[in-house]
Structure 1
Amino acid sequence: MVSATSVSTSVSGQLPNKPASDFGTDFGTQLMYIQVSLSGRRATALIDSGASDDLISQSFVLQNNLNTQLLQNPIECELADGRIVLVDSSINSKLKFSVGTDTRSESLQLAVAPLKHADVILGRPWLSRHNPDIDWTTGTLLKLRSKPDPPVQSWPLVTPRPPIISSSTAPVKISVVSRGALAKLARTEKVYVAFLQPTSSPVPDAPSSADEESLKKHADAMFERYSPVFPEKLPAGLPPDRRVQHRIDEHPDSAPVNGPLYRHSERELKALRYFIEEEVDAGRIRPSASPYASPVLFVPKKDGSLRICYDYRALNKQTIKDRYPLPRIDDLLDRLRRAKYFSKIDLKSGYNQIQVLEDHVHKTAFKTRYGNYECLVMPFGLCNAPGTFQRLMNDLFRPFLDRFVIVYLDDILIFSETLDDHKQHVGQILKLLQDEQLYAARQKCELFKRSTEFLGHIVSGDGVSMDPKKTESIDSWPTPTCVRDIQVFLGMANFYRRFIKNFSTMAEPMTRFLTKSLPFAWGPEQDHSFSSLKQAFQSAPVRRIFRPELPIRVSTDSSDFGIGGVLEQKFEHRWHPIAFESRKLTPAERNYPIREKELLAIVHCLTVWRLYLEDVENFEVLTDHHSLQYFKTQKELNKRQARWQELLCNFTYTIKYIPGPSNSVPDALSRHPDYLNFVRLLPGTAATSVLTSVLGNITSVSTSVSEAAASPIQMNTIGLSAPTSGFLGDIKSATPLTTEFNLLSDPSKSRTRAQHNHLRGLKIQDGLIVKDGSRLFVPSE
């Protein structure tokens, strides 16, 4: 460890003497300074026999634009004021100084540290090389006893940093503005002018591993220093008495809530006994004789264990809503404009770290097979919990808010312009959390980052950008491989066609395949059309930036294999998309009843977009499933619905039914081609070769199968294995016995309208029936 403890002497006739208290510690009356020249720049050097290395001020390096080199192994430095900092860079410089009549010049390596009252500290290495005579009574350097040895690097260095031109290979975004716009901008903001010289030479990637490793060491040091803030589980006992406690104020004449007692399985009863015993011992719940009694259920967690879920719907209905505002996201992000370093802290079970007001504890009572209990800490499921939590966060962090920290519920972001400032800021916040006995989840925290995700945005030294996840459902949409794929994509595109200039012309290369006369053939023209429409979805005037003062709505839908949704706002009498969302259903979710699939789509979308929706007084959720309008008043909930209800209680929303044709965008998102439950066999792949070889074992069909393989093959199947030759032989034997084969083989036969529609797209190829040239017809026989 480098020590920078200052001695108590001074050099007469050099600089005004500074008291040792200027360094934050009372080491004596005066210090010893000399004037030096550092690479031609005048500097003040402190002679310090207590410093184990030679140091240079970080601010001096920045002010004089000196080149630094990263150290391979950052070192800890304890400053005179007791601060411990990590030193991760150094400079090589020419030092010129005079002692009496002796003038010396030498090359010197100096570690860069956040010094306050000296530009340079010449410590024991410098004193050992020069071995000066010091008059300790007057605090004067008399002479140097020996000539300096050749400079020796004290610390191994990493490869020098490349020039700034190579710091990024990302494409440059250039905006062209008129003279008038530039003049208007110059009146309100600083305007910087840069001359760009294009070059054809390749730009190498900037090395970032050393910088990331250095920042990781800073983070590890902070995690270690404030380890009590990051426990594995919350300590037993109540949180300390804070200025903010949770209240449950009800409307006048409200009667105590008394819900039903739900039945539980033996496994759930075992979990209930364990929960009661653990929480009573921890002091977070206690037996209750309250007239209030809300029901509880158990819902499975991801690891298979069970979690208790309070059904506070009746209590929430008669609770006076707390209108304490949640911060506007755009206001928070505006504070980050000049920040270069970021740390994100996520509180652990945040609600359980706030006490319920003693006079209102009885209202949280819940009934179980083993008696009634009430919550002493704020439970999940209460409608005013977010407002209470935000009030506490604002109260605790008020001295630092918007200066170097912003807080949205349990998400805390620390931001700084310099690394030195960031060390100090992170330390202040973690110390505050430690003093207030607030605890964080280490696995969800990120310290000392150049960029991070926060409130649905990516924040970095380059500014704030939208999280790509908002349009990932559109951006990742795969290239259509059949007419059906085009129909799904254009079904969504048509909904926003009024915002897309020349939509019909742009989409024509794809829409031409919707006529039955043209075979599907994807080429460069279609690829350009598809890419252009995807880009149009993600930019103005279709997609807009979120504005909290405007009306907002959410539309959702589900299919057999996916869920989708779109978040929209009303701009000038028209609804514009803000974000798109979709995901594939898991195998278990595919077995849900249709109603619960539709409800899952609502829960998923509201959870993803909670940052936009939690503080909205009332917004509409549009669905094409009629019965979901009554979900909020449903008397009894199953376990799955109870879990979802707990997630939805933080939103003020109304579910509204709309007909399916009016819900085309979520419908298309839920039918994302990548979610389909079939295997796609593309030309030239191993799977196609296997299928072709198997089909080739059947007499006289190899040629037609090879032709069919020129387009993607879709097989509705449970497994991934190709059909056996025996099975395909059975298909070929049974096909001539079908009505479809008889009608197709004799076009002169009369057909009903239903038969005509059924046979559309079917044709006979070498004794087999193929649909749309790519799917094999399997007879029921």
Structure 2
Amino acid sequence: MPSRYVGTESTSISGVTGGSQQLTVLEAKVNLIGNGWQKHPIVTGPEAPCILSIDYLRNGYFKDPKGYCWAFGIAAIETEDIRQLSTLPGVSDDSSAVGLLRTEEQQVPIATATVHRQQYCTDRDSVIPIHEMIRKLESQGGVSKARSPFNSPIWPVHKSSGEWRLRVDYRALNEVTPPLSAAVPDMLELQYELESEAAKWYVTIDIANAFFSIPLAAECRAQFAFTWKGVQYTWSRLPQGWKHSPTICHGLIQTALEKGEAPEHLQYIDDIIVWGNTAGEVFKKGEKIIQILLKAGFAIKRSKVKGPAQEIQFLGVKWQGGRRQIPTEVINKITAMSPPTSKKETQAFLGAIGFWRMHIPEYSQIVSPLYLVTRKKNDFHWGPEQQQAFAQIKQEIAYAVALGPVRTGPDVKNVLYSAAGNNGLSWSLWQKVPGETRGRPLGFWSRSYRGSEANYTPTEKEILAACEGAQAALEVIGTETQLLLTPQLPVLGWMFKGKVPSMHHATDTTWSNGLLSSHSTPVPYWKPKSPRDSGNYN
């Protein structure tokens, strides 16, 4: 809340990390469940600290003594002084806007064999929207009538917004398409890089129908043919669903941005994010990038331009101050899911939660009973073990902590906790600076034992966990930083003294020598309390 609206009574609130904030107390009218306003004292401040039960508070509002209505848990901004990037000229209000990249028609790999698949039944609700989409794409030059020995079935996709997306099932075509050497960036590496920026302000730009903006060479079009209402069409532009479309699209957008000398940004195919310390700084950066994209021939939808904002979503992740979090709507969707009744439903649930595994300590061990019922050789049986795992992982998702930001400097301590349990390995990476009691997590990793690993000795398992944990940690913090290892067993004290005692298992010696040769990281000998025991990671 801006300072001119806060109360006058001051109070200090301490967090579990040992830090404290000076806030003010305000008598306000509060409405949390929609049944009317009631007076209640609340604390206010300019920031939006992460506190327990904030998701419940975000369902309600409060009014200050001047009658202004505010939302809980959202940092206040003097919005009257911040121009939104979506107000720029050239940004389109047309939800189906399609650009045309000013470049030569693209020569793409051609299938090594003819693929012809008949159209299968589609959802009735999709018929009218898909028909209108094809007509509009034809008028825009995206598709054209054709006669081709190739044919692939239409596969309409129902988006979360309620709209339909025209997609063709090119799985059979993809199998006979030659490879490309280029590739899109790794999404996890982009997240690590964005964490390291610890920015205060963000802007995101999503290019409208980017694939459909890229022209195809005439000799490459026949392989993309599809049939609708007895008429065969093919794409004049890059289609969705074809395996090389993301790679080609990413490369052309990257080239356009480099040619236009775009300011610092991150790009994943047609999604772009810029960051900075002030709203004005990110507005100027975002404006420059939009101008470059429009000049290149791409279309930008107004609804797909967000910011400047201090909290924003990029690649499905919520970002604030360099910290990545699970969006509230994702948490609500997952926690509302009913227990699966089939292998397919179990796989869908695992797919929904798997992306967030780095936020969940011992994820692999928790969900292992769910993977058992998805195996082909096993009949589907939902027992008490599966129900317990299902309930536990939903609870972990609901209370998942934010990760990051990745901090640098001589005072930053990077601590890796590793452990080897009965069912697998786990490790977590933490950063701590002076003034913090517990530190902040950068990620949680886990996996089940593979092959003969379950038969390793406890020492071997601990060394394996420490070794893999160190490799994962260095991907996050880089190789030029110090990493403190804290395994569950006191095996590293003698290892880093260069002395390997005699053992009955030669593998123990092999592991320790291998870890010594691959990591020259200083490792103190102590076993602190696991941060998981605290019950809170902030």
TM-score with structure 2 setting the length: 0.50
Deviations 1:423-477 (A, max 9, x none): 43222122212212323343343222223333465544xx42231459996xx9x
State the 1:312 CA deviation: 0.8
Task: Specify which of 457, 465, 480 is matched with residue 323 of structure 2.
Answer: 465
Q: Does 1:416 align with 2:255?
A: no
Partner in structure 1 of residue 83 of structure 2: 219
Contact 1:356/1:376 (<8 A) preserved: yes
Partner in structure 2 of residue 242 of structure 1: 103
The change in CA–CA distance for 1:172 and 1:445 in structure 2 (over 3 A counts) is: farther
State the 1:329 CA deviation: 2.2
Determine helix, strand or coil for the equivalent of 2:197. coil
Matches of 1:674 and 1:330 in 2, distance apart? 19
The change in CA–CA distance for 1:275 and 1:416 in structure 2 (over 3 A counts) is: closer
Partner in structure 1 of residue 168 of structure 2: 310
The change in CA–CA distance for 1:441 and 1:666 in structure 2 (over 3 A counts) is: farther
Q: Does 1:594 align with 2:342?
A: yes
TM-score with structure 1 setting the length: 0.36
Contact 1:292/1:363 (<8 A) preserved: yes
Q: Does 1:371 align with 2:231?
A: yes
1:552-563 matches, within 5 Å, as: none
The change in CA–CA distance for 1:305 and 1:216 in structure 2 (over 3 A counts) is: same
Determine helix, strand or coil for the equivalent of 1:600. helix
State the 1:628 CA deviation: 6.7
Determine helix, strand or coil for the equivalent of 1:281. helix
The change in CA–CA distance for 1:206 and 1:308 in structure 2 (over 3 A counts) is: closer
Matches of 1:289 and 1:379 in 2, distance apart? 18
Give the total of aligned pairs: 343
Q: Does 1:584 align with 2:442?
A: no
Partner in structure 2 of residue 171 of structure 1: 15
Determine helix, strand or coil for the equivalent of 2:352. helix
Deviations 1:590-625 (A, max 9, x none): 9x9735423433553467789xxxxxxxxx998445
Contact 2:196/2:322 (<8 A) preserved: no
Provide structure 1 residue ranges, at least 5 long, that are not aligned to the other structure: 1-69, 71-157, 176-195, 477-580, 611-619, 630-655, 676-781
Counterpart of 1:206, as a letter, is G
Determine helix, strand or coil for the equivalent of 2:82. helix
Identity value in percent:
16
Partner in structure 2 of residue 326 of structure 1: 185
Deviations 1:408-431 (A, max 9, x none): 223211112344433432221222
Task: Specify which of 178, 185, 205 is matched with residue 44 of structure 2.
Answer: 205
Structure with higher RCO (Cα < 8 A, 6+ apart): 2
Contact 1:294/1:310 (<8 A) preserved: yes
Deviations 1:716-772 (A, max 9, x none): xxxxxxxxxxxxxxxxxxxxxxxxxxxxxxxxxxxxxxxxxxxxxxxxxxxxxxxxx
Determine helix, strand or coil for the equivalent of 1:597. helix
Contact 2:23/2:45 (<8 A) preserved: no
Determine helix, strand or coil for the equivalent of 1:412. strand
Counterpart of 1:443, as a letter, is S
Partner in structure 1 of residue 209 of structure 2: 349
Counterpart of 1:205, as a letter, is T
Counterpart of 1:439, as a letter, is A
Partner in structure 2 of residue 278 of structure 1: 136
Determine helix, strand or coil for the equivalent of 1:228. coil
Deviations 1:23-75 (A, max 9, x none): xxxxxxxxxxxxxxxxxxxxxxxxxxxxxxxxxxxxxxxxxxxxxxx9xxxxx
Contact 2:82/2:279 (<8 A) preserved: no
Partner in structure 2 of residue 229 of structure 1: 91
Deviations 1:113-171 (A, max 9, x none): xxxxxxxxxxxxxxxxxxxxxxxxxxxxxxxxxxxxxxxxxxxxx849999xx999673
Deviations 1:671-728 (A, max 9, x none): 87999xxxxxxxxxxxxxxxxxxxxxxxxxxxxxxxxxxxxxxxxxxxxxxxxxxxxx
The change in CA–CA distance for 1:436 and 1:403 in structure 2 (over 3 A counts) is: closer
State the 1:366 CA deviation: 1.0
Determine helix, strand or coil for the equivalent of 1:219. coil
Q: Does 1:392 align with 2:252?
A: yes
State the 1:288 CA deviation: 1.4
Counterpart of 2:17, as a letter, is K
Matches of 2:100 and 2:314 in 1, distance apart? 27
Cα root mean square deviation, aligned: 5.1
Task: Specify which of 303, 313, 323 is matched with residue 453 of structure 1.
Answer: 313
State the 1:376 CA deviation: 1.6
State the 1:385 CA deviation: 2.3
Matches of 1:304 and 1:200 in 2, distance apart? 42
State the 1:373 CA deviation: 0.7
Partner in structure 2 of residue 429 of structure 1: 289
Matches of 1:201 and 1:334 in 2, distance apart? 31
Contact 2:203/2:308 (<8 A) preserved: yes
Matches of 1:471 and 1:272 in 2, distance apart? 28
Matches of 1:199 and 1:311 in 2, distance apart? 57
Task: Give the number of the structure whose alpha-carbon radius of gyration is greater.
Answer: 1
Task: Specify which of 259, 277, 282 is matched with residue 117 of structure 2.
Answer: 259
The change in CA–CA distance for 1:235 and 1:168 in structure 2 (over 3 A counts) is: farther
The change in CA–CA distance for 1:278 and 1:660 in structure 2 (over 3 A counts) is: same
Matches of 1:172 and 1:671 in 2, distance apart? 24
1:526-565 matches, within 5 Å, as: none
Counterpart of 1:390, as a letter, is H
Contact 2:346/2:370 (<8 A) preserved: no
Determine helix, strand or coil for the equivalent of 1:373. strand
Provide structure 2 residue ranges, at least 5 long, that are not aligned to the other structure: 27-42, 48-67, 359-367, 399-538
State the 1:235 CA deviation: 4.0
